[in-house]
Amino acid sequence: MLAYRITQAGGPARLCDIAPLPPGPGQIGVAIRRCGLNFADLLTQKGTYQDIPEAPFTLGMELSGIVTKTGDSVNNLAVGDRVAVFSGQGGLAEYGVFDAGRATRIPDGMSFDDAAALQIAYGTSHMALNHRARMQPGETLLVTGAAGGVGLTAVEIGKLMGATVIAHARGAEKLAVARAAGADHLIDDSEDLRARVLELGGADVVYDAVGGAAFKAAFRACKPEGRLLPIGFASGEVPQIPANHLLVKNLSVLGFYIGGYMKFRPDLVRDSLACLIGWHDDGRLKPHISHILPLDRVADGMELLRSRKSTGKVVIRIGD
């Protein structure tokens, strides 16, 4: 089977032809149909992500497909089930073996495209805003990088949770995408972010996927008791947080990494995904997928993320 792999630490990723493995106890074998790309895939290739498997390994953190085999002790899934798998690795391949606890059965009405695009970006935004920030209806949410893979989902989920959403992005095209997802106010990257947010009354919650100057400006535009969620650092700069300013304004900075929850509170991740699937079934959310590419164009998909030329999600098509 074909798989997009890193064969040695620090080496480049490439398509390889490898033998599939049978599922062991508690595992399932999946014929993979789609795999969603994430900025974390770029960091993994660079060797700078916080959770990198030992080489060799196959990239791809979230996927959808059909169960083809089950190992011993798997009682919740059966051959033929359509599933979404929060894999962590292994999704960019024609076939994979995964722990059954990482898989969720998906409804017949959900496409493989949507299932592959739903898990990490939407799960990150839903758990960050709901579980970590405890955002309430009527609060103001500022989203930086609001047209990107996770930022756009924060706009959409923020509106579903009853927030007033301020979207910050680069250029009219990306801001239009954020507007379509429900943003109430739009701020272009060329504007003074702090001044514009303060004109709108300040932010109760900041969902920052950019870091760098955007985080610094958003930090200064928080209301008293504001909560900041550093989700990613697409700018390449990890912000340093002045603790004395936290004290003066009674601010909270809340770390969130969904992969960590898969290790110590997987039940919260499963409950979040069940909520998101329910919202999808009700027509209340729809993943925005800007590009669907075949497996032999994974590198092109990664470049779309790297250059920030995609909006929403990039999905790799592996099977029909």
Does residue 129 lie in a domain region? no
Q: 198 and 227 share a domain? A: yes
DSSP conformation class of 102: G
Q: 267 and 198 share a domain? A: no
**For residues 82 and 108, what is the distance between their CA atoms, to the nearest angstrom?**
8
Q: What is the tens place of the pLDDT at every residue in 45-86?
A: 888 887 888 899 999 999 999 999 999 999 999 999 999 999
Q: What is the tens place of the pLDDT at every residue in 218-264?
A: 999 999 999 999 998 888 889 999 899 899 999 999 999 998 998 89
Does residue 62 lie in a domain region? yes
Provide the pairing of β-strand 27-36 with 62-70: antiparallel
Does residue 100 lie in a domain region? yes
**pLDDT, position 216:** 96
Q: 71 and 14 share a domain? A: yes
For residue 278, pLDDT beyond 90 = yes
When pLDDT is averaged across residues 121-134 and rounded to a whole number, the result is 96
Can you list the alpha helix ranges (DSSP code H) found in the chain? 39-46, 112-127, 151-160, 172-180, 193-199, 212-220, 243-249, 258-264, 266-281, 298-306
Q: 26 and 115 share a domain? A: yes
Q: 156 and 236 share a domain? A: yes
Instruction: Share the mean pLDDT of the chain.
Output: 94
Does residue 180 lie in a domain region? yes
**pLDDT, position 272:** 94
**pLDDT, position 48:** 83
Does residue 126 lie in a domain region? no
For residue 175, pLDDT beyond 90 = yes
Q: 193 and 265 share a domain? A: no
**For residues 110 and 285, what is the distance between their CA atoms, to the nearest angstrom?**
12
Instruction: Mark which of 219, 237, 253 sits at the end of a domain.
Output: 253
**For residues 262 and 57, what is the distance between their CA atoms, to the nearest angstrom?**
19
For residue 204, pLDDT beyond 90 = yes
Q: What is the tens place of the pLDDT at every residue in 9-20?
A: 878 899 999 999
CB 1 within 8 A of CB 17: yes
Q: 216 and 138 share a domain? A: yes
Residue 72 sits in a domain whose CATH number is 3.90.180.10
**For residues 164 and 179, what is the distance between their CA atoms, to the nearest angstrom?**
12
Instruction: Mark which of 234, 253, 272 sits at the end of a domain.
Output: 253
Q: 108 and 86 share a domain? A: yes
Q: 248 and 263 share a domain? A: no
Full domain range(s) for residue 82 = 2-119+259-317
Q: Does 107 sit behind a cis peptide bond, omega within 30 degrees of 0 on the bond before it?
A: no
**CA-CA distances (angstroms) from residue 46 to 12, 53, 218, 313?**
9, 13, 28, 20
Q: 263 and 240 share a domain? A: no
Total number of domains constituting the chain? 2
Does residue 24 lie in a domain region? yes
When pLDDT is averaged across residues 252-281 and rounded to a whole number, the result is 92
Q: 239 and 279 share a domain? A: no
Does residue 128 lie in a domain region? no
pLDDT band at 210 (very low <50, low <70, confident <90, very high): very high
Q: What is the tens place of the pLDDT at every residue in 83-100?
A: 999 999 999 999 999 999
Does residue 158 lie in a domain region? yes
Residue 172 sits in a domain whose CATH number is 3.40.50.720
Q: Is the dihedral of CA 192, 193, 194, 197 positive or negative?
A: positive
Instruction: Mark which of 235, 253, 271 sits at the end of a domain.
Output: 253
Q: 199 and 288 share a domain? A: no
